[in-house]
Amino acid sequence: MEMEQAFALIVALKLAKKRKFRKRECWVRKWVDRRIEFGACSTLVSELKLEDAQQFRNFIRMSAVQFESLLDLVKHQIVKRDTKFRAAIPPHDRLMVTLRFLASGDAYCSLQYVFRLPPCTISKIVPEATLKSLRDSKSLPALTEDWRPSRESKKSHFHL
């Protein structure tokens, strides 16, 4: 019996040694840290707004004017505070990432290269921005029956 206990103790110690976590090589990858200068929100989106309204609309499926009015509506709900360690992602960028995800259906791993945000951050931004925006919206019908008049008006509007 003592031999079995000793063996179990040795196995437990070996497992405990294997579970030691590696020290992180870096907290933020260098290319992600250059988001402010080279990310899509600071470069591509700004250019599209000024130079090519149709491609901006194609990028997030709404015009720049619609985007700005939506941002004004939800800005106070999706804003985060800066900390001593890092600057918060601005509401403009948070909404842009969310709309691009909803418009394209791209994976978070794909969006990370466009917006220079890690997938784990995008995975927090998208549901949070979507839910916070919808939660306070008073125009959404609560019951299925309430959707029917809206659906019928859309059918007639789009000639379906």
Does residue 158 form part of some domain? Answer: no
Q: Considering its fold, how many domains does the chain have in total?
A: 1
Does residue 157 form part of some domain? Answer: no
Backbone angles phi, psi at 86, to 5 degrees: -160, 160
The answer for residues whose C-beta is within 8 angstroms of residue 119's C-beta and 6 or more apart is 107, 108, 109, 111, 112
Does residue 19 form part of some domain? Answer: no
Q: What is the mean pLDDT of residues 84-105?
A: 88
Does residue 50 form part of some domain? Answer: yes
Q: What is the mean pLDDT of residues 95-110?
A: 90
Residue with tokens 């206990």: 5
pTM over 0.85: no
Instruction: Output 14 or 32, whichever has higher pLDDT.
Output: 14
Does residue 107 form part of some domain? Answer: yes
Does residue 145 form part of some domain? Answer: no
- Domain of residue 131, residue span: 30-135
CB 49 within 8 A of CB 59: no
Q: What is the mean pLDDT of residues 34-45?
A: 71
